[in-house]
Amino acid sequence: MTELTELGAAAAARAIHAREIDAGELFEAYRERAGADELNAFTWVAEGPPPPTDPAAPLAGVPLAVKDLFCTEGIPSQAGSRILEGYRPPYTATVVENLTGAGVTLLGKTNQDEFAMGSSNENSAFGPVLNPWDRGRVPGGSSGGSAAAVAAGLAPWAIGTDTGGSIRQPASLCGVVGVKPTYGACSRWGMIAFASSLDQAGPLARDVTDAALLLSHMVGHDRRDSTSVALPEPITLPTAEDLTGIRLGVPEELLAGGDDGAGIEPGVRESFEATLALAEGLGATIDTCRLPHAPHALSAYYLIAPAEASANLARYDGVRYGLRVGGEEDLATMYTRTRGEGFGAEVKRRIMLGTYALSSGYYDAYYGQALKVRTKIADDFRAAFARFDFIATPTSPWTAFELGSKADDPLAMYLNDFCTVPMPLAGIPALSIPSGCSDGLPVGFQLAGPAFSENPLLQAAHALERAIGFDGSQVRA
What are the backbone angles phi and psi of residue 445, rounded to the nearest 5°? -115, 125
Dist CA 435 CA 461 (whole Å): 11
Q: Where are the domains of the chain?
A: 2-249+386-476
Shortest CA distance to 210 belongs to which of 424, 472, 7?
A: 7
Angle (CA) 434 241 182, round 5°:
60
pLDDT of residue 50: 81
Residue 52 has pLDDT above 90, yes or no: no
Lowest mean pLDDT segment, chosen from 38-52, 218-232, 447-461: 38-52
pLDDT above 80 (res 447): yes
Does 174 have pLDDT greater than 60?
yes
Q: Whole-model pTM above 0.85?
A: yes
- Res 477: pLDDT: 55
Output the average pLDDT for the chain: 94
Which is catalytic among the residues 166, 228, 396, 432? Answer: 166
The beta strands (E) that lie in 226-357 are given as 247-251, 285-289
Rounded to whole angstroms, the Cα distance separating 393 from 272 reads 7
| Banded pLDDT at 257 (limits 50, 70, 90) | low
Percent of the chain residues topping a pLDDT of 90: 86
Count of CB atoms within 10 A of residue 232's CB?
10
Q: CA 138 to CA 174: how far, in whole Å?
A: 9
Res 191 pLDDT > 60: yes
Rounded Cα distance between 300 and 417, Å, is 12
Contact, 171 vs 221, CB < 8 A? no
Stretch 328-335: mean pLDDT, rounded? Answer: 83
List 120, 142, 143, 310, catalytic entry:
142
The arithmetic mean of pLDDT across residues 300-311, rounded, is 96
Across residues 221-227, what is the average pLDDT? 97
- In the structure, what pLDDT confidence band is assigned to residue 261 with cuts at 50, 70 and 90? very low
Out of 188-192, 297-301, 315-319, least confident range: 315-319
Mean pLDDT of 184-197: 97
Query: Is 226 among the catalytic positions?
Result: no
Q: Quick check: is 119 catalytic?
A: no
Residue 449 identity: G
Res 245 pLDDT > 50: yes
Please tell me the distance from the alpha carbon of residue 168 to that of residue 161, in angstroms, as a whole number: 9
Q: Provide CATH code, domain 2-249+386-476.
A: 3.90.1300.10
Q: Report pLDDT for 260.
A: 45
Among 56-60, 66-70, 252-256, name the one with the lowest average pLDDT: 252-256
> What does 32-64 look like in DSSP terms, one character per residue?
HHHHT-SS--EEEE--SSPPP--TTSTTTT-EE
* Residue 444, CB-side half-sphere exposure with 13 Å CA sphere: 35
Cβ atoms of 62 and 54 closer than 8 Å: no
Say yes or no to pLDDT of 259 above 80. no
When pLDDT is cut at 50, 70 and 90, the band that residue 53 belongs to is confident
**396 touches 131 (CB < 8 A):** no
Q: What pLDDT does residue 1 have?
A: 46
Question: Would you say 77 and 87 are in contact if contact means Cβ atoms under 8 Å apart?
Answer: yes
The pLDDT-based confidence of 476 (bands split at 50, 70, 90) is confident
Range scoring the smallest mean pLDDT among 202-206, 252-256, 289-293:
252-256
Rounded to an integer, the average pLDDT of 299-314 is 96
70-101 pLDDT tens trace: 999 999 999 999 999 999 999 999 999 999 99
How would you classify residue 190: left for phi > 0, otherwise alpha for psi between -120 and 50, otherwise beta?
Answer: left
Amino acid making up residue 343: F
Active site residue 180: no
